[in-house]
Amino acid sequence: MSTLSHSLAALAKAPTGIEGLDEVTEGGLPRGRPTLICGTAGCGKTLMGIEFLVRGIQEFDEPGVLMAFEETAEELASNVTSLGFDLKQLQADKKLRVDHVHVDRSEIEETGEYDLEGLFIRLGYAIDSIGAKRVVLDTIESLFSGFTNQAILRSEIRRLFRWLKDKGVTTVITAERGEGQLTRQGLEEYVSDCVILLDNRVVNQITTRRLRIVKYRGSTHGTNEYPYLITEDGLSVLPVTSLKLTHEVSNEIVSTGVPGLDEMFTRGGLYRGSSALITGTAGTAKTTLAAAFALESCRRGEQCLFFAFEESPQQLIRNMLSVGMDLRPYVEQGLLHIEASRPTLNGLEQHLVTIHKLIGQYKPQTVIIDPISNLVSVGSLVEVRGMLTRLIDYLKVKGITALFTALVSGRNANQEMTEEGVSSLVDVWLHVRDLEGIGERNRGLSILKARGMAHSNQVREFLVTSEGVRLLDVVLGPTGIITGASRHTQFLQEQALATAAQQEIERRERELERKRRVLEATIANLRTEFESVEEELRQTNQEEEQRREDLSQGRRQIAKGNPAPLAGNSPAAPTHS
């Protein structure tokens, strides 16, 4: 077992440089060995071979040889110019040799025998002239067309593959799909070390392409079917299987753009790099909440990608301006990028590769998709779930905070279950709903789940005002939380009760003040009466003191023998005779 593991680990591989293909093949194609690419017309076999050569030259400095049996060098160069591949310049730089071989039976059949020796000499010279490490043969059917001797064909095919192995070049050979087998000859897939099958199919009037690694000698590889796209940048392979859950996480908190909603999370917002889902029926302000999230991201100076599947950028900007959210300045600054299109414009894979491409171009910190429920129109629920699973995993690996909105329908159905089935994949699930009262409809918001943090369990009523989204305080009535007009009625009742209570307090304070004044008056009267009694007592005491003083003085006079004269009498005058 250890020997086998060592052999697998030691297998040399040549990275293709094609987005996603190296991931599926776990490193690239077998180095120094032939790889067969087979498929029907229009599936991109030639393009994959050319991109394998061009990427090898540009990214890994490995010169290559392209030997074509159907198209001329000028035709091939012209066909791939739209992809940004300049074959003529690569040839001028001695990095690429393009050789068109016109296969004529008379040239390769001598004395009734089929012989490829001339081809080997021509190909060997092309390889040696530039020191090529990579070779593409397009297509092998043209090389063997017109010959019916199967024994000779099989022998020559084996000899061709053996010659390529002995030459030590990493080779890609394209072949057309056969009836009931991978190739027309039915042998190439057996002598090749790696076989890649390309398929071009039409489902629900939408073209989709699939890639499958049929075999890969000496290496593990992805065994599922993988969608791939041909874009202006070349091929893009999108693995269906989810990425490994080994991504890093952050403890940083980012705001949702709605202060009241932030308060419903104990941490005051969402974890950076997490994914959130807003579900609700039509008209419950899902897009408005998403726009608030985008606006808050731009205010932090972060790049934000907004994918709109229902509104044009101009319409979205105008509508959000009516609720106090001006997105235009951030669009002009380049912080906010609005990508608007109908889901039916492309298949699921095209939408996914567009998202990948724009993420690679703008390097956003926030991605918003509004709504994901529209994707059901271009794929089955299983396909949409698979696409969204890959997208969520991709965003998590990149550390991008994601917000999705989804429309739920059904008046009596469980409106908390999304048709896409992605509610279990996201980290935060918000649900907005209609709170219908007597003759009115209000909006309510609740948090169904928030991984890694506690959150409020209340259904909060919110308003979309000219200044944005505003969550209202919870008002409890006799039967629970009340909203709308009942909230206003409750407010008026509470206000009336508060007014009555205030008036009662003021009346009691006035009564208390009156009693205080009466008490103070009574105290003043008693003080005056006390002072009068005190004055009279003082006067009486003074008079009594004076009498005692006079009596004491008279006694002292009598004691001296000189009584004091009586009051009103004068001494008698002497008489003369």
Count CA atoms closer than 13 A to 473's CA, side-chain side: 6
| 110 pLDDT above the threshold of 50 | no
Where does residue 525 rank: exposed (0-12), middle (13-18), buried (19+ CB within 10 A)?
Answer: exposed
Q: Which two tokens stand for residue 314?
A: 């101009």
| 62 pLDDT above the threshold of 70 | yes
What's the confidence (pLDDT) of residue 417?
42
What's the confidence (pLDDT) of residue 2?
44
Q: For residue range 118-161, what is the model confidence (pLDDT) as tens digits?
A: 788 889 999 999 999 999 998 887 776 656 666 777 777 788 88
| 3 pLDDT above the threshold of 60 | no
Using pLDDT thresholds of 50, 70 and 90, give the confidence band for residue 5.
Answer: very low
333: Cβ–Cβ under 8 A, 6 or more apart, which residues? 298
How much is the mean pLDDT over the chain? Answer: 82
CA torsion, ordered 119, 124, 130, 133, to nearest 10 deg: 100
**Do β-strands 275-280 and 476-477 pair in parallel, antiparallel, or remain unpaired?**
unpaired
Residue 134 phi, psi (nearest 5): -130, 145
Amino acid at the residue 333: Q
Q: For residue range 415-466, what is the model confidence (pLDDT) as tens digits?
A: 444 555 677 889 999 999 887 766 678 888 999 999 999 999 888 889 899 8
Q: Which two tokens stand for residue 544?
A: 């009594």
Find out whether 364 and 305 touch, Cβ atoms under 8 Å: yes
Where does residue 227 rank: exposed (0-12), middle (13-18), buried (19+ CB within 10 A)?
Answer: buried
One CATH from 2.30.30.90, 3.40.50.300, 2.40.50.250, 3.40.309.10 for 12-107+114-237? 3.40.50.300
Give alpha helix (H) positions in 363-460.
Answer: 381-398
What's the confidence (pLDDT) of residue 391?
85
Q: Which two tokens stand for residue 569?
A: 């009498």
What number is the average pLDDT over the span 401-424?
68
Report the alpha-carbon distance of residue 346 to residue 342 in Å, rounded: 8
Report the alpha-carbon distance of residue 185 to residue 144 in Å, rounded: 9
| 358 pLDDT above the threshold of 80 | yes
Q: Span 253-473: which CATH code? A: 3.40.50.300
Using pLDDT thresholds of 50, 70 and 90, give the confidence band for residue 577.
Answer: very low
What's the confidence (pLDDT) of residue 141?
75
What's the confidence (pLDDT) of residue 337?
95
Find out whether 136 and 52 touch, Cβ atoms under 8 Å: yes
Find out whether 465 and 324 touch, Cβ atoms under 8 Å: yes
The C-alpha angle 532, 535, 539, rounded to 5 degrees, equals 140
* Long-range Cβ contact pairs of 481-490 (< 8 A, separation 24 or more): 483/435, 483/437, 483/442, 483/444, 484/435, 484/437, 484/440, 484/442, 485/437, 485/438, 485/439, 485/440, 486/437, 486/438, 487/461
Using pLDDT thresholds of 50, 70 and 90, give the confidence band for residue 361.
Answer: confident
Q: Largest Cα–Cα distance of the chain, in whole Å? A: 220
Q: Same topology for domains 12-107+114-237 and 253-473, yes or no?
A: yes
| 414 pLDDT above the threshold of 60 | no
Pairwise pLDDT comparison (107 vs 537), residue with the higher score: 537
Find out whether 215 and 228 touch, Cβ atoms under 8 Å: no
* Annotated domain spans of the chain: 12-107+114-237, 253-473
Using pLDDT thresholds of 50, 70 and 90, give the confidence band for residue 84.
Answer: confident
Using DSSP, state whether 542 is helix, strand or coil: helix
For the chain, first and last CA: distance in Å? 182
Neighbours of 508 (CB within 10 A): 10
Highest mean pLDDT among 134-148, 287-301, 353-367: 287-301
Q: For residue range 450-461, what is the model confidence (pLDDT) as tens digits?
A: 999 999 988 888
Q: For residue range 507-545, what is the model confidence (pLDDT) as tens digits?
A: 999 999 999 999 999 999 999 999 999 888 989 999 888
What number is the average pLDDT over the span 377-398?
80
What number is the average pLDDT over the span 238-263?
80
| 302 pLDDT above the threshold of 60 | yes
Report the alpha-carbon distance of residue 440 to residue 499 in Å, rounded: 28
The C-alpha angle 469, 471, 472, rounded to 5 degrees, equals 135
